[in-house]
């Protein structure tokens, strides 16, 4: 391109599957609103058993125990557009590199780093493996990086100081100024419920 600029654009992406997930608490009852539950609501069926029936704790002998099922149904997708512009001018002693990426990362509810399990703790919700498919905790939509190196015009072979002796040139010549700037958008902010037990209230 004009100005001795080299422009590069490309796509980068990845697909991951069978990722180990810190899974659901399998020792939960279905919602209280199911028929036969502590607080039945007529017509309510989400997460209920056959015919909208209430399902007690899977392990009633351990009413206050959390039993996690760790499974390999985790998935993740990453897609990005990456653009890079680069130029180098020997005449002005200037080198510049600018990069920008626009990306989207989705996953099926990995741990948020605070030992928080994935959502949808009640069962048997239909398709619960897919309920947490959304933007990942590591999603960064925008990432911009700029790097500029400027050769100061002092020293032998430069505009100033070409006649310096070796000692002066070693101390004052051939210096560079470097600037690096990095700007990214923020990570998603999640609202996480604590432990929505569905036992009697």
Structure confidence by residue, pLDDT tens digits, 71-121: 787 889 999 999 999 998 867 788 999 999 999 999 886 654 444 455 445
The pLDDT value given to residue 2 = 82
Regarding predicted confidence, which is higher, 152 or 157? 152
Structure confidence by residue, pLDDT tens digits, 10-29: 999 999 988 877 667 778 88
> What does the angle CA 94 – CA 99 – CA 104 come to, to the nearest 5 degrees?
175
User: Which of 76, 69, 70 lies closest to 17, judged by CA?
Assistant: 76
> How far is 43 from 51, CA to CA, in rounded Å?
10
User: Residue 137: which pLDDT band, with cuts at 50, 70 and 90?
Assistant: confident
Say whether pTM exceeds 0.85: no
The pLDDT value given to residue 145 = 96
51: helix, strand or coil: helix
Give Cβ neighbours of residue 12 (< 8 Å, ≥ 6 apart): 78, 80, 82
> How far is 74 from 7, CA to CA, in rounded Å?
37
Check if the beta carbon of residue 46 is closer than 8 Å to that of residue 143.
Answer: no
Check if the beta carbon of residue 130 is closer than 8 Å to that of residue 96.
Answer: no
The pLDDT value given to residue 26 = 77
The pLDDT value given to residue 28 = 80
Task: State what percent of residues in the chain have pLDDT above 90.
Answer: 30
Regarding predicted confidence, which is higher, 82 or 65? 82
User: Which of 10, 141, 185 lies closest to 84, judged by CA?
Assistant: 10
pLDDT exceeds 80 at position 146: yes
Q: Largest Cα–Cα distance in the chain?
A: 96
């Amino acid at each position: 391109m004009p100005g001795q600029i080299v422009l590069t654009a490309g796509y980068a992406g990845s697909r991951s599957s069978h990722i180990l997930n810190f899974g659901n608490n399998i020792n939960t009852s279905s919602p209280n609103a199911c028929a036969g539950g502590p607080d039945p609501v007529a017509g309510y069926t989400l997460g209920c058993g056959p015919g909208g029936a209430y399902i007690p704790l899977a392990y009633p002998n351990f009413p206050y125990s959390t039993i996690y099922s760790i499974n390999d149904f985790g998935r993740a997708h990453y897609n990005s557009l990456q653009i890079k512009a680069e130029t180098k001018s020997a005449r002005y002693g200037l080198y510049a590199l600018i990069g920008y990426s626009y990306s989207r990362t989705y996953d099926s509810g990995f741990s948020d780093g605070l030992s928080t399990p994935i959502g949808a703790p009640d069962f048997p919700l239909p398709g619960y493996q897919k309920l947490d498919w959304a933007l990942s905790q590591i999603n960064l939509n925008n990432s911009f990086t700029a790097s500029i190196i400027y050769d100061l015009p002092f020293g032998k072979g430069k505009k100033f100081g070409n006649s310096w002796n070796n000692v002066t040139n070693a101390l004052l010549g051939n210096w560079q100024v470097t600037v690096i700037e990095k700007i990214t958008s923020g990570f998603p902010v999640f609202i996480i419920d604590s432990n929505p037990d569905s036992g009697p209230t």
